[in-house]
Amino acid sequence: MNAYIFPGQGAQFVGMGLDLYEKYPVAKEMFHTANEILGFPITETMFHGTAEGLKETKITQPAIFLHSVILSKVMGNIFKPDMVAGHSLGEFSALVANGTLTFEDGLQLVSKRALAMQRACEIQPSTMAAVLGLDDATVEKICTETPGIVVAANYNCPGQLVISGEVEAVNRACEKLKEAGARRALVLPVGGAFHSPLMEPAREELASAIEETNFAAPSCPIYQNVTTTAVNDADEIKKNLISQLTAPVKWTQSVQQMIVDGATIFTEIGPGKVLQGLVKKIDGSAETLSPELD
């Protein structure tokens, strides 16, 4: 069975999407539509901007979404997913790919999500840190025992977990994690504590936008970050998408469940190959691919 997976923030690079824009009329049309919906020429930053400019959350999230969704569109008839999943932001790309959201609605929600997250980051200093070489239970236990807000946020693959929370709490947790034998516990250059309780203002802001958006029945199941199981019901997809901002991204568990349910090939749709690497670390026997275009 074919599983299509969609990357999240961090996969961006300058020049992303330019090849699609220049080669495929449908891509050019979708990029122009995106500029109109967003109210600014995001294509300029994507195609010809700087790495610094592309790192802004309000740019990064729509840019990665656009690259992923447009790439799936130009694949044409060879894009036939049996199941989809996305890492954090990538969940929105996956929901357009399986017909739950329209391209226009998906882009508007992603833009609102990015701005809401940016505002939440400004309320309180917060950060994230990558933890390598420890089992999940040890990381969770240390987060629980650390004063302040710090939680397990991204379960990327066995031995690679990201924690998220208040700056002081994350720093304290990193020290304890190193003492517990972590190979690395490294604070990341991010604007805030994504997938933690500190994103509650953003979750509330995004919830109303999601509630007002039409979600159709998907063409194939999505394995959502919050539940890790196959979801086909539009109302349940909405509920999980609202929870996603303050809940952990259970990527390891989602991929494991997709394999249990029959996934044999994982094709990453979007910039980079980060998710292919994670899938291989989760299950070395899984086949991973990048899309082949005409």
Cβ neighbours of residue 109 under 8 Å, at least 6 residues apart? 92, 101, 206, 209, 210, 213
The token pair at 221 is 């199941």
67 flagged as catalytic? no
The active-site residue, picked from 126, 195, 196, 254, is 195
Cβ neighbours of residue 141 under 8 Å, at least 6 residues apart? none
The active-site residue, picked from 88, 111, 126, 254, is 88
Cβ neighbours of residue 106 under 8 Å, at least 6 residues apart? 65, 69, 92, 93, 95, 96
Place of tokens 């109210």: 39
Residue type, 154: N
Q: In what order do the strands lie in the sheet with 265-268?
A: 230-231, 222-223, 83-86, 2-6, 265-268, 287-289
DSSP state letters, 142-187: HHHHSSSSEEEEEEEETTEEEEEEEHHHHHHHHHHHHHTT-SEEEE
93 flagged as catalytic? no
The C-alpha atoms of residue 188 and residue 203 are separated, in whole angstroms, by 22
Residues with catalytic roles: 88, 195
